[in-house]
Amino acid sequence: MRNFLLFFMFTMFAGQALAEQARPIAVIVQNDEDANKLAAEDLSLIYWRKKQYWQGGLRIHPVNLHAEHPLRLNFSKVVLGSLPATQTNYWNGLYFHGTTPPYSVQSEEAVIRFVANTKGAIGYVDACKVDARVNAVLWINDNKLSTTKPTLDCGI
């Protein structure tokens, strides 16, 4: 019985983790005209802090989840092509030139609040957690970045 319970719990956690990993990520911006014109290929430039202004001259404020968050790891792998732990040299180099890494927050709710309240901000959350406070402009699904909203199954 104990083994069965352990197996059941393991299956539940593993299933939840897989569902977490498989869920699409939405890239969110404020309901702002410039940010809504975001091209997919600009996203990595923004998160590498190579592109710091929207088309109209507004400063871009990218926000990250903390470095161990599963969504951050997935986003970093797909968009930046590497994991946060291997980016130390890059960020130290950019800091030397006066540019700091994107802001970092602890939860997806904090990302949504940051984006909703900060002009020029951009962030990413689980696509099922997007609400009316922000606007989703790009999606990451099956390790691919796309401008088309995927079919979401938010019931899991």
Partner 1 sequence: MNKRLIMIVASVTSLLVLCKSAWAEGEALSETVPTTFMDGFSLGGYSSATLVIPRTRSVEAAVDDISLILRWENDGRFKFFGELELERPVTWNEDERFSHKNAYLDLERLYLEYNLSEKLNLRAGRFLTPAGRWNLLHAAPLVWTTSRPLVTSRLFPASTNGLMLYGSAPMQNKAFEYTFFVETLKDQYKDDYEIQYRDVSGAHFSLNNDVNVGLTLMTLRQTEPRSPAYRMIGLDFLTQLDRLELSGEGYYRFASNGKDGGSGAYIQSAYHLGHEWYGLARLETFQSPQEGSAERWLVGATKRLKPNQLLKMEFAGGSGELPDAPRGFLGSFAILF
Q: Which of 73, 103, 126, 152 binds partner 1 (CB under 8 A)?
A: 103
Alpha-carbon span 123 to 47, nearest angstrom: 10
Q: How far is the CB of 10 from partner 1 (least distance, A)?
A: 31
Say whether residue 64 binds partner 1 (CB under 8 A): yes
DSSP state of 78: I
Q: Which of 18, 19, 45, 83 binds partner 1 (CB under 8 A)?
A: 45
Q: Which of 98, 142, 143, 151 binds partner 1 (CB under 8 A)?
A: 98
Q: How far is the CB of 19 from partner 1 (least distance, A)?
A: 28
Backbone conformation region of residue 126, classed left if phi is above 0, alpha if psi is from -120 to 50, else beta: beta
Say whether residue 97 binds partner 1 (CB under 8 A): yes
Q: Which of 1, 4, 5, 41 binds partner 1 (CB under 8 A)?
A: 41
Q: Which of 101, 112, 125, 140 binds partner 1 (CB under 8 A)?
A: 101
Question: How far is the CA of 18 from the CAs of 70, 127, 156, in angstroms?
Answer: 11, 15, 11
Which run of H or of E encompasses 103? strand 103-105
Say whether residue 24 binds partner 1 (CB under 8 A): no
- Identify the burial level of 86 via C-beta atoms within 10 angstroms of its C-beta, where 0-12 means exposed, 13-18 middle and 19 or more buried: exposed
Measured between alpha carbons, how far apart are the two ends of the chain, in Å?
A: 27
Q: Which of 96, 132, 142, 151 binds partner 1 (CB under 8 A)?
A: 96
Q: How many helices (H) and strands (E) does the chain have?
A: 5, 6
In the complex, the residues that contact partner 1 under the rule CB under 8 A are 39, 41-42, 44-45, 48, 50-55, 57-59, 61, 63-64, 66-67, 81, 86, 88-89, 91-93, 95-98, 100-105, 110, 114, 118-121
